[in-house]
Structure 1
Amino acid sequence: MRLTPPARQKSEPTITLINVVFLMLIFFLVAGQVAAPVDRNIRLIDAASVSSRAPDDALAIRADGTTLWRGVVTSPEAFAAARLAEGSEVLRLVPARDLPAQDLLHLASTLRAAGAAEVRLVTERSTP
């Protein structure tokens, strides 16, 4: 009498799944480090619910009113002229939390006077 070995159950591809998840983790860790930080001296404004995306190119404003664009101190007028020349009608501002509201409104009106169709504020999203 000939005995046949018992049928093996096909194992789940857990190792493959673990490898894929690990590779995705590495990818997102690397991709998250590609974007340069705005400025370490700026603490973003809190907002409970904001429907905006991360800025492609924004003007950072320190609490003392200094404006930075691409890491270089610049004037709001020069920033607006350069962004409008690139074809962007929407200008983004990344204000420091401690920036007085009056200064922020003055800066926004300066950008609107320079030709911006819209001025958007970039804030920190808070989780409930």
Structure 2
Amino acid sequence: MTPRRARPEREPTIALINIVFLMLIFFLVAGTLAAPLDKDLRLVSTAKIDRAAPADALVLHADGRMTRRGTEIVSAAAFLADLPEEARARVRIVPDRALPAQKLVGVARALREAGAGSVVLVTERGLQ
């Protein structure tokens, strides 16, 4: 009798292939593959659109005046009293670029003391 030759152990490559295949499927499903835009497509430009403050925002001018919808506001408390109840939870301020920071902080503090839930500054997004 001749002794049997010992077979070499097979590497578990099938299991490795299965794992790689499952990862590929996962990333295809989880990732978003978007088709590129047409080369002749021109997107809308918003650079020249007139900018307007939101209707319920307090506009602070460089000279310290406060307005809402073009109407002069006497104080932060008067502005808050003129707002509907649901708009008082989040009050928006649109400050002029040249407004001193001390004036802006003072108005924000006065709004909080008058009962505003939170005060949010509306700014212009810069170029990236």
TM-score normalised by the chain length of structure 1: 0.56
Matches within 5 A, 1:51-62: 55-62=54-61
Match of 1:73 in 2: 72
Deviating runs (4+, > 4 A) in structure 1?
none
Q: Residue 78 of structure 2 aligns to a residue in which SS?
A: helix
Measured in 2, the distance between the counterparts of 1:92 and 1:116 equals 10
Q: Is the 8 A contact 2:55 2:69 kept in 1?
A: no
Matches within 5 A, 1:92-111: 92-111=92-111
Point out which structure has higher relative CO (alpha carbons under 8 A, 6+ apart): 1
Match of 2:32 in 1: none
Q: Offset at 1:57?
A: 1.5
Matches within 5 A, 1:1-128: 37-38=52-53, 55-75=54-74, 76-83=76-83, 85-88=84-87, 89-128=89-128
Which structure 2 residue ranges, 5 or more long, are not aligned? 1-40
Q: Residue 108 of structure 1 aligns to a residue in which SS?
A: helix
Larger gyration radius, structure 1 or structure 2: 2
Amino acid at match of 2:70: G
Q: Residue 68 of structure 1 aligns to a residue in which SS?
A: strand
Q: Offset at 1:77?
A: 1.5
Q: Offset at 1:73?
A: 0.6
Measured in 2, the distance between the counterparts of 1:101 and 1:37 equals 22
Identity of aligned residues (%): 42
TM-score normalised by the chain length of structure 2: 0.56
Q: CA RMSD in A?
A: 2.4
Amino acid at match of 2:119: V
Q: Is the 8 A contact 2:77 2:111 kept in 1?
A: yes
Deviations 1:79-109 (A, max 9, x none): 11122x4321110000000100000000000
Measured in 1, the distance between the counterparts of 2:55 and 2:71 equals 16
Amino acid at match of 1:67: M
Deviations 1:49-90 (A, max 9, x none): xxxxxx35200010010000011111221111122x432111
